[in-house]
């Protein structure tokens, strides 16, 4: 489980397709602080470490993960947002992020707004009641607050710190990002549908 507060970014070192899976090797910014089978959020995707060596570590993405996320667009040297699992005894600074991606969205607009940035995204699926204005959403693993939303489009405001410390400053219109809706909202919707 994660908080959506990004620790750092790292670069993709190697991509290796084997059958329907994708093995991804990243440069290791954590030195000796990680171990095999540990889960790390990569652009919001919870992936387990399978190998650590020579200043890198590797993970494997299954066919299902590739289907639901933007990993198929990944290239060597791309920057990826990282967050290690949350510690229970610390403050929850973002919101509860599971690392289970719901869908992807395309960046349709980026506007600079007097020191901040307004990013607008179009989801490939209807947002329905999954997002609400002033609610939380995870975009590439970043806990963000929705400023505006319609049927398939929503916007978030990005402060300079978040812009500089995540891979958002590499993003451009047309790029795809991973979305995870707020788990609390998903449970509430399911309950109301069940009661109907």
* pLDDT score for 82: 98
Tokens 């929850």 identify what position? Answer: 92
**What average pLDDT does the segment 43-48 reach?**
96
**What average pLDDT does the segment 60-84 reach?**
96
Each residue of 15-36: pLDDT tens digit? 999 999 999 999 999 988 999 9
CA R_g for the chain: 17
* pLDDT score for 20: 93
Res. 1: pLDDT tops 80? yes
Domain 8-84 shares a fold with domain 103-195: yes
CATH fold of the domain at 8-84? Elongation Factor Tu (Ef-tu); domain 3 (2.40.30)
Nearest to 103 by CA among 118, 125, 81: 125
Q: Kindly list the domain boundaries of the chain, sorted by start residue.
A: 8-84, 103-195
* pLDDT score for 192: 62
**What average pLDDT does the segment 1-11 reach?**
94
Q: Calculate the average pLDDT of the chain.
A: 91
Helix-strand-coil split of the chain, %, nearest 5: 15, 45, 40
* pLDDT score for 84: 95
DSSP state of 87: P
Tokens 């607050």 identify what position? Answer: 145
Instruction: Give the DSSP H or E segment for 1.
Output: none
**What average pLDDT does the segment 165-182 reach?**
96
* pLDDT score for 188: 73
| Four-way CATH pick for 103-195: 3.90.1150.10, 2.40.50.140, 2.40.30.20, 3.40.50.620 | 2.40.30.20
Each residue of 93-130: pLDDT tens digit? 778 888 999 999 999 999 998 889 999 999 988 777 78
């Amino acid at each position: 489980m994660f908080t959506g507060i990004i620790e750092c970014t790292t670069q993709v070192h190697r991509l290796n397709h084997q059958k329907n899976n994708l093995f991804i090797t990243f440069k290791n910014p954590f030195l000796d602080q990680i171990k095999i089978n540990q889960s790390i959020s990569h652009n919001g995707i919870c992936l387990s470490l399978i190998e650590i060596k020579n200043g890198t570590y590797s993970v494997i993405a299954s066919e299902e993960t590739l289907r639901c996320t933007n990993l198929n667009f990944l290239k060597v040297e791309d920057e990826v947002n990282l967050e290690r699992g949350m510690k229970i005894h610390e403050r929850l600074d973002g919101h509860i992020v599971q690392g289970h991606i719901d869908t992807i969205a395309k960046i349709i607009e980026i506007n600079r707004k007097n020191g901040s940035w307004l990013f607008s995204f179009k989801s490939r699926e209807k947002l329905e009641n999954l997002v609400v204005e002033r609610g939380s959403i995870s975009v590439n693993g970043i806990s963000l607050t929705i400023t505006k939303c319609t049927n398939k489009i929503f916007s978030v405001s990005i402060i300079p710190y978040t812009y500089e410390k995540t891979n958002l400053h590499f993003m451009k219109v047309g790029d795809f990002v991973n979305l995870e809706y707020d788990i609390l909202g998903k449970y509430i919707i399911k309950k109301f549908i069940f009661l109907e």
